[in-house]
Chains A and B, each alone.
Chain A
Amino acid sequence: MAVTGIILVLFLIAHMLGNLKIFTGATSFDHYAHWLREIGAPLLPGVWFLWILRTALVVSVVGHIWAATTLALRARAARPVRYAHRKPVQGSYAARTMRWGGVIILLFVIYHLLDLTTGTLNPVGDPSRPYANVVADFAPKRWYVTLFYTLSVVAVGFHLRHGVFSALRSLGQQTPRGERRARVVALVLAVGLCVGYLVVPFAVLTGLVS
């Protein structure tokens, strides 16, 4: 859970930094997107690196879901008779929404790949012009796309708020002072990634990027 989660967080950071290149203009962004497909060339031919990265990500996602499912099934089995009177978990909101939040994020990732990787659900859907795809995606008249994107990114934020802390704890973070630090790191990462991902659709919505 922790190891696959950290791989995915590192990907999220790189992906966000890439997204922010949209503010450098269409030519630069498209150039960056094309470069992504050819990283490692000429050492690795063509899209090899891309597929190695994709394989690592898919393995991480599947491992992450497998671990989460195991934990959820164990939790269910560990309490066969439920409480008649059960208070909501006193721990953070983020901690108690990890499982359903994860499902929402998975659905979003599937949609997101169909939208901006394959272009199937994108109004432009031209893989050679990613900048145009993004601008068309978050156009004001497609407000529901922006809304779904925003909710999903916020779900990712909550997931990381607990997930990053929990991963550090699972990997042996053990002092009270370290716990405070780990919680701050989790909060900063969660808020930072949320803001980094949300500026793009809102820049398109407000016409800053067009």
Chain B
Amino acid sequence: MNLTLRIWRQKGPEDKGRMVTYQVDDVSPDMSFLEMLDVLNERLILAGDEPVAFDHDCREGICGACGMVINGNAHGPQKMTTACQLHMRHFADGETIDIEPWRARAFPVVKDLVVNRGSLDKIIAAGGYITAPTGSAPEAHSTPVAKANADAAFESAACIGCGACVAACPNGSGMLFTAAKVTQLSLLPQGQPERFTRVIGMVDAHDEAGFGGCTNAGECTAVCPKGIPLNTIGRLNRDYLKATAKRGDNTPGS
């Protein structure tokens, strides 16, 4: 396959950045999208040019490191698939492909396609944990969990924190990520002690990081490589309403 790539190049956070066109020939349809970028980078290095920077780690679709907007789609055209698991057979020979980084104020560009997703960590730090004592794993059957809750919690826990929901959201909101992290814990007995301080802390951290507000447009769930359902946001909303109604009882020290 021969492809024309239009890639966002930006030297650093202060650089203005621009789309640059590259021609990549002899691409195998069996390559992953990132392998195709590797081929381009090897040729750029041999030609003495700066390679295109992009985030990647496991290349198995489970770490959440990779992510780029491909032809206007976060993680590309294939549903429930990260960019690293996307194969070139989904593109046509001679196609022009636009590749851009996640665009959000909360995700400043570090270089080329690499963005700083530290604001997702700030949301987690604001409440995405439980205060169970560590040590040896407790007997699994000692704390019963209803099957429906276990399944829904597991579904939310599949979130890999890649940030595609933010990249796709017309409002630049990170609510699907926040909701997945909130509901994964609030559905389980271990998550109950901090249930209501957690949701308030995480939503506050979300808003402070400069993410937009959710309008239930549903774009996030359409691009989510892990298929986190939109109704997790409803679970977050319900916890948030309950928490704001009884905030005084739950704030530590009050």
Known contacts A75-B172, A85-B71: A179-B230 contact under CB 8 Å:
yes
Nearest CB of A to B207, in Å = 8
Residues of chain A with a CB closer than 8 A to B212's CB: 71, 74-75, 77-79
| A84 and B104 contacting across the interface, CB-CB below 8 Å | no
Query: Most chain-B CB neighbours within 10 Å: which of A78, A82, A90?
Result: A78
Nearest CB of B to A90, in Å = 5
0/1 interface trace, chain A 119-162, chain B, CB 8 Å (1 if under)? 00000000000000000000000000000000000000000001
Residues of chain B with a CB closer than 8 A to A175's CB: 231, 234
> Does B170 lie at the interface of the complex (its beta carbon under 8 Å from any beta carbon of A)?
yes
| B229 and A90 contacting across the interface, CB-CB below 8 Å | no
* Number of B interface residues in the complex (CB < 8 A): 39
0/1 interface trace, chain A 64-96, chain B, CB 8 Å (1 if under)? 000000110011011111111111011110011
> Does B65 lie at the interface of the complex (its beta carbon under 8 Å from any beta carbon of A)?
no
| A90 and B211 contacting across the interface, CB-CB below 8 Å | no
> Does B23 lie at the interface of the complex (its beta carbon under 8 Å from any beta carbon of A)?
no
| A95 and B210 contacting across the interface, CB-CB below 8 Å | no
0/1 interface trace, chain A 27-42, chain B, CB 8 Å (1 if under)? 0000000000000000
* Number of A interface residues in the complex (CB < 8 A): 35
| A176 and B215 contacting across the interface, CB-CB below 8 Å | no
| B219 and A75 contacting across the interface, CB-CB below 8 Å | no
A92's contact among B8, B98, B213, B218, by CB below 8 Å, is which? B218
A172's contact among B19, B73, B238, by CB below 8 Å, is which? B238
Known contacts A78-B173, A83-B100: A89-B217 contact under CB 8 Å:
yes
Known contacts A74-B212, A80-B105: A95-B217 contact under CB 8 Å:
yes
| A74 and B72 contacting across the interface, CB-CB below 8 Å | no
B171's contact among A71, A84, A85, A170, by CB below 8 Å, is which? A71
Nearest CB of A to B138, in Å = 28
A77's contact among B17, B105, B217, B222, by CB below 8 Å, is which? B105
0/1 interface trace, chain B 156-174, chain A, CB 8 Å (1 if under)? 0000000000000011110
In the complex, A70→B213 CA distance in Å? 9
| B237 and A176 contacting across the interface, CB-CB below 8 Å | no
| B211 and A78 contacting across the interface, CB-CB below 8 Å | yes
> Does A173 lie at the interface of the complex (its beta carbon under 8 Å from any beta carbon of B)?
yes
Nearest CB of A to B168, in Å = 8
| A90 and B219 contacting across the interface, CB-CB below 8 Å | yes
| B216 and A165 contacting across the interface, CB-CB below 8 Å | yes
Residues of chain A with a CB closer than 8 A to B234's CB: 169, 172-175, 178-179
| A174 and B231 contacting across the interface, CB-CB below 8 Å | yes
Residues of chain A with a CB closer than 8 A to B233's CB: 169
22 A-B Cβ contacts within 8 A?
A70-B213, A75-B172, A77-B210, A78-B104, A78-B105, A78-B171, A79-B172, A79-B212, A83-B69, A83-B72, A83-B103, A84-B98, A87-B72, A95-B218, A162-B216, A166-B215, A169-B233, A170-B216, A173-B234, A175-B231, A175-B234, A176-B231
User: Interface on B for A, CB 8 Å cutoff?
Assistant: 6, 8, 17, 19, 69, 71-73, 98, 100, 103-106, 109, 170-173, 210-213, 215-219, 222-223, 229-231, 233-235, 237-238, 241
